[in-house]
Structure 1
Amino acid sequence: MKRILACLALGLSLIAPVAFAAPITVNDGTNTITIPDVPKRVVVLEFSFADALAAVNVAPVGIADDKDAKRLPQAVRDIIGTWTSVGTRGQPSIEAIAGLKPDLIIADLDRHSSIYSELSAIAPTLLLSSRGEDYQGSLKSAALIAQAVGRTPEMEARLAKHKEMMAGIAAQMPKGVSILFGAAREDSFSVHGPESYAGSVLISLGATVPALRENGSAYEFAGIEQLLSLDPDWLFVGNYRHPNIVDKWSKEELWSVLRASSGKVIAVDSNVWARNRGILSAEKIARDALAIMQGTFTPVE
């Protein structure tokens, strides 16, 4: 009889955590969602959300990766391994998402609010800011994502490590140096100002980031004359493709007036600097910036 009772007790101890697993409730600022248990099949519809999961060693089963895995930073890919593409960030495939049978979807407030009802019919869905978010905002979103996947202690430890690393890099950066990052396409140049993601990371490192106009947008298109009016000490360029408008400008007489034109126009990874946001992305941006200042950076083609 004692042996039977012992076996029953052991059996109950094994099933109890499953039977009575505590649900996870998260308020994303727009909705309050409840996840029945720690999610194991997560689909993310923005790169920064994959970054947040990678920071706590969680691998999503699906990512809206624009059908190009290399758009995610190498550091993120190294942690999360393989995944299924669910299309582009702008138009993710509802069918592909549903086919993965997720127990959590993380969507962008700006891009995906219009399809929230379809997404939430598949699985509990977080709506968080990513597109247009600044550095500090991305850290807050990462903390919410960690809460949703039951990794809050791990995220707290990772954020502490992150802040220590960023402070260490900031201590080595020249103070007050003026740095501007912009993304170059064939016929346009997008300035990433002080309130942009890359701009706000640079400011956290002690750099000055010029703005096209007071109370302007975080991201604004600029011509060569406007670029000259900003005249940063350093110009970092994310080249989406070649030839582009910066290639064209660099051959014009006005280009030589730009302070940075004397060896301080540096090509950086457009995927990390322009398309991505998050803990790992910020660390890569910071390491790049410091390497550039120290003369050890290898420009990107």
Structure 2
Amino acid sequence: MPVSARERTRFRRTAERAGRARSRGIAVGAALLCAVALTAGCADKTDDASTIIRTTTNIAGAGVVGADRDTATACPLPSAPDAGPGTTRAVTHTAGVSQVPADPQRIVVLTSSALDAACALGLWERVAGAVTLEGDRPQPMYLGYGVLEVPSVGPIGQPDPARIAELKPDLILGDIAPAAGGYEALRAIAPTVLIGQGGSWQSDFTAYAAGMGRRDAAATALRDYLTEAHDLGPALNASQSQASVLRFTADTTQVQGSETFAAQVLADVGVQRPTAQRGQSYDITADELATKAEGDVVYVMFDGEQGEEHGKQVLRSTEFEELGAATDRRVFAVDDKIWHTTGLTAARAVLTDLRNSLNGYVTD
């Protein structure tokens, strides 16, 4: 079994646990309840309402984590450029070597992870253009409302060189060359850094930071993140919990394996995974939920509207409702654009989600 008998007993909904809930409910429930109880005084009066993302607090029995995510401080103040002489730096990347500005002022980003990196280094206001996502929001909302005003250079994966040129950037950041014109078209517009694909999220962040002339700032930011993650683990007694992580698309239920961003952040905190989820990602059927999806706590994410519709069907199925985590009301829905992306800002958001849910249960 993926979860020990001791741990399963620990999270049963007994009267004893219900009593404990009254004393610790605020720690987990506040983020879930404030969205529907603002008139009762949940909101901090100092919050800027425009920085808070509001959503439903329950999806098919799964408590929504981050219902009132405050994004006011998601992007810190601008970091300092690396020390050194001259106004340009040589940066080696997958497409070659580029002479980039030591302190770029107008940056075009061709991936969400590059936008996340600019945010994490305090440079998001220098982003002159960005590719946009599918759906009703052009950019990830966890980065704050300001990024919604960044001009579009086309959909993700299909940036338009003509739009990029109109924005007159002094730096272009991406992972691979777009089909339209390739790397040559980009570097004819501005110095371009392409970091490639397949690296860890931390190495990607470091590569983007090098392109922006912020190697030192990136090293400090990563060190601070790891310190926070390592401190959070003991505070949550994380090593005593096995967290199952599932992602729903329009027609699949996928176990998120060790190679995924979410799994890597969980590992940084010291959260354990069920035995069946300690390898690579894979799809499962309804009949496999009992053996492949069980955990002390189950985190679920949805790939768009169709993924949510499929996910709701699974969450309401008899097979899922028979899981111990479902019986104990320890199933939490997390933001797919945070848990299924890459980036330091997103990693910090996952830490916040874990702080508000790992030792809790759904209260509504």
TM-score range, shorter chain: 0.7 to 0.9
What secondary structure sits across from 1:122 in the alignment? Answer: coil
Please name the residue that 1:160 is paired with.
223
Question: Is the deviation greater in 178-187 or in 77-86?
Answer: 77-86
* TM-align CA RMSD: 3.0
For 1:95, the equivalent position in structure 2 comes to 162
Deviations 1:70-127, CA, capped at 9 Å, x for gaps: 64143x2367673111222122222222221222111123977983333223222222
1:38 matched to 2:115: no
How far 1:224 moved relative to its partner? 2.1
- Residue in structure 2 matched with residue 182 of structure 1 by the alignment: 246
Work out the CA distance in 2 between the residues paired with 1:297 and 1:142. Answer: 34
Report if the CA contact (8 A) 1:46-1:107 is conserved: yes
TM value normalised by structure 1: 0.78
Matched, 1:115 2:201: no
1:36: how far off? 4.9
Identity across matched positions, percent: 24
Unaligned runs of 5+ in 2: 1-84
> Normalized against structure 2, the TM-score is what?
0.66
| Rounded Cα–Cα distance in structure 2 between residues aligned with 1:284 and 1:37 | 29
> Which residues of 2 match residues 1-301 of structure 1 at below 5 A?
21-59=86-124, 60-66=127-133, 69=137, 71-74=139-142, 76-77=143-144, 82-109=149-176, 115-129=182-196, 133=199, 137-173=200-236, 174-210=238-274, 216=280, 219-230=281-292, 231-239=294-302, 240-241=304-305, 244-262=309-327, 263-274=329-340, 276-295=341-360
SS at match of 2:158: coil
Cα drift, residue 146 of structure 1: 2.2
Distance 1:81-1:159 versus aligned 2 partners, 3 A rule: farther
| CA shift in 2, pair 1:77/1:205, >3 Å | same
Q: Compute the displacement of 1:215 (Å).
A: 6.0
Letter paired with 2:259:
E
Moved more, 204-213 or 281-290: 204-213
Number of equivalences: 272
Alpha carbons of 1:85 and 1:27: their partners in 2 closer, same or farther (altered >3 Å)?
Answer: same
Aligned equivalents of 2:260 and 2:330: distance in 1? 21
> Take 1:251 and 1:296, find their aligned partners in 2: how far apart are those partners?
17
Task: Name which structure has the greater RCO, CA cutoff 8 Å, separation 6+.
Answer: 2
Greater Cα shift, 117-126 or 62-71? 62-71
Q: What 5-or-longer segments of structure 1 have no aligned partner?
A: 1-19
| 3-state SS, counterpart of residue 286 of structure 1 | helix
Change in Cα spacing, 1:80 to 1:291, as seen in structure 2 (3 Å) is same
**Between structures 1 and 2, the one with greater helix share:** 1
